[in-house]
Amino acid sequence: MKELIEKINKLKKRKKAVILAHCYQNVEIDEVADFVGDSLYLSQMAEKTDAEIIVFAGVYFMAQTAKILNPGKKVILPNLKAGCDMADMINLAQLREFKQKYPNIPTVCYINSTAEVKAECDICCTSSNAVKIVKSLNAPKVLFLPDKNLGRWVETQLQNVEVITYNGYCPIHNDLSAEEIKETKNKYPNAIVLAHPECQEKFLEEADFVGSTTGIMNYVKNRNEKEFIIATEKGVTDRLKRDYPGKQFYSVYDKPAICKSMKLISLMDIYNALNTETPEITVDEKISKEAFKCINRMLEVSANGAAK
Ligand code: 13P
Ligand code: SF4
């Protein structure tokens, strides 16, 4: 493995490439990644990079977002089978139907959505800025898609905003039940519960902190407590165990939550992708221009304040 890591790092330098990795990826990917983090951080890094090639160790919508932000650059997803079940829960026809049912209401899409869907939404958000984005619209009602759980959580964090949610969800987080977390808390009474907002409302009521993957990792970094129940995908728990050997991390019901798509990319896939500069992500120009507005609006609000 050490040899392969060295080969990738050399090739990356020679090709002026950058490797962005989501923190649900297999943990060894960090050895070759330039940036590791949550969806917002990776979009910000994709927007800023001056590399000629972006290799995305993540899922399809993430690489697609990087391409939309960098139409002139080569964006590569080392395994094209790495999709997102939640993003696939809403297509353009379903989005139009949803909007027709509730006309003239601003539409917020989670970044876990396709370029076609983003192109017909007003603004995008990630789990770490969803509250700020919805608030910035200054609207009494918003449509939120595809994640009903994130939308519901946003509503609980804001006063006087009705969040009308589409019926999508992340199967990995949605499967974590309130009963399971209650039992896990009984088993580890000193542990603090850190949960991702893609979990169901009843589950989140049992959490001490709700945040994005990076939010969860920063919480552990900044606290003195020694025991944590991590309610998100295994990649986060694996990184926490690696970085804080003196602390204890438990999974809900002692059963690690795994996103199979996120685990599809291997170091060998990254080497082959860099070597052959494939599989390349392309986005239709017209869709890309519209989706860019939706993503860029989010990046502007994230950096400043109100939506323009
Ligand atoms: P964040 O990266 O915003 O924490 O979201 C997690 C996720 O499910 C990405 O697919
Ligand atoms: Fe999609 Fe859920 Fe996997 Fe994230 S964890 S990529 S939301 S299926």
Domain housing 34: 2-83+262-282
Residues 117 and 165 placed together within one structural domain of the fold: yes
Give per-residue pLDDT as tens, 63-109.
999 999 999 999 999 999 999 999 999 999 999 999 999 999 999 99
- The answer as to whether 308 is a domain residue is no
Give per-residue pLDDT as tens, 176-203.
999 999 999 999 999 999 999 999 999 9
Give per-residue pLDDT as tens, 22-71.
999 999 999 999 999 999 999 999 999 999 999 999 999 999 999 999 99
Residues 220 and 92 placed together within one structural domain of the fold: no
Residues 23 and 36 placed together within one structural domain of the fold: yes
- The answer as to whether 35 is a domain residue is yes
Residues 240 and 181 placed together within one structural domain of the fold: yes
- The answer as to whether 245 is a domain residue is yes
86 lines ligand 2 (CB under 6 A): yes
Count: domains in the chain:
3
236 lines ligand 2 (CB under 6 A): no
Measure 259 CA to ligand 2 centroid, in angstroms.
6
CA proximity to 244, closest of 224, 214, 263, 258: 224
For the CA of 87, the nearest atom of ligand 2:
1
Measure 213 CA to ligand 1 centroid, in angstroms.
6
Band the pLDDT of 238: cuts 50, 70, 90. Answer: very high
Q: Please tell me the pTM assigned to this model.
A: 0.96
Cα dist from 13 to 87, 155, 201, 203, whole Å: 33, 45, 45, 44
CATH number at residue 297: 3.40.50.10800
Residues 239 and 268 placed together within one structural domain of the fold: no
Give per-residue pLDDT as tens, 110-155.
999 999 999 999 999 999 999 999 999 999 999 999 999 999 999 9
